[in-house]
Homo-oligomer: A and B are copies of this chain.
């Protein structure tokens, strides 16, 4: 079996490889060739940790396995370790034998950024010029970096609850040669593409903050009760997601569905747009909304890419297991 440690991933894994892997697996999911298993997520009653497994099988890409790990909130303060810790295990679908183990921390950031980036490629207006960011944490930097590759943006505008964190995303914009401007929340109305990547239990982005024609990717809601945008916005938008079942239960669509503003059938798989079985955006003043909930198959797909790259560069550790 092959091992690719966490320390090697950042040098190995490119945004392009992550993007390709995620785009392909979203397509396979919509075509019925790949599916995610039920998610296990447990508060284990030790170190306030959340631990669990996200598994799946992609019969097209032939990836089988799981990401295991979770959130250890005291890691940083107590031990100088990052709080999110995960590892991806790939299995040989022909035999059931373990095939690879891959560090999952950096990979998770890149696969999450790839998801919103895939949605921008397929749903944003081609002439989008203003990129808007809601959120300025560690994840937001990965999101923005990937988003800026999808359109020829003139400007990045950003808002964060803690404005002192805005330099995080300003740095990413300037590295990409795009000017940055901090705006009040209402100022986000100017954006043609918005990524919302916050962790909140009350909506921040109201329906009137989003202009006709905008594409918004909501990337922060992955738990029952969390909410980034007003439910009324989903009623106004054409709604897409990675996985419908997650979107309506733990994703951004949970609230609009619960309030009867939209039905499950109003939530479409982004993979259908990639495959051409859903038209996607059909006019320049349509609002498109991508609800990125995060699925195990994204992790497996990107991990499989990492293994390929590590083998090609001769740095995968081989263990006779």
Contact = CB atoms under 8 A, between A and B. Distances in A.
A96 B51 contact: yes
A66 B86 CA distance: 13
Contacts of A71: 96
A39 to B, nearest CB: 9
A95 B85 contact: yes
A70 B96 contact: yes
Nearest to A72: B96
Contacts of A85: 95-97
Contacts of A89: 68, 87, 89
A123 interface: no
B79 A95 contact: yes
A312 interface: no
A227 to B, nearest CB: 26
A92 to B, nearest CB: 9
Given A57-B46, A64-B51, A96 B79 contact: no
A320 interface: yes
For this chain, the copies found in one complex come to 2
A91 B66 CA distance: 14
Nearest to A85: B96
A127 interface: no
Given A51-B57, A53-B55, A321-B101, A75 B46 contact: no
Given A101-B101, A101-B321, A103-B321, A64 B93 contact: no
A278 B103 CA distance: 45
Contact of A75 (B45, B72, B95): B95
Given A38-B40, A81-B97, A87-B97, 13 more contacts: A37-B42, A38-B38, A44-B57, A45-B59, A47-B93, A47-B94, A51-B64, A68-B98, A69-B91, A72-B94, A87-B89, A87-B98, A89-B89
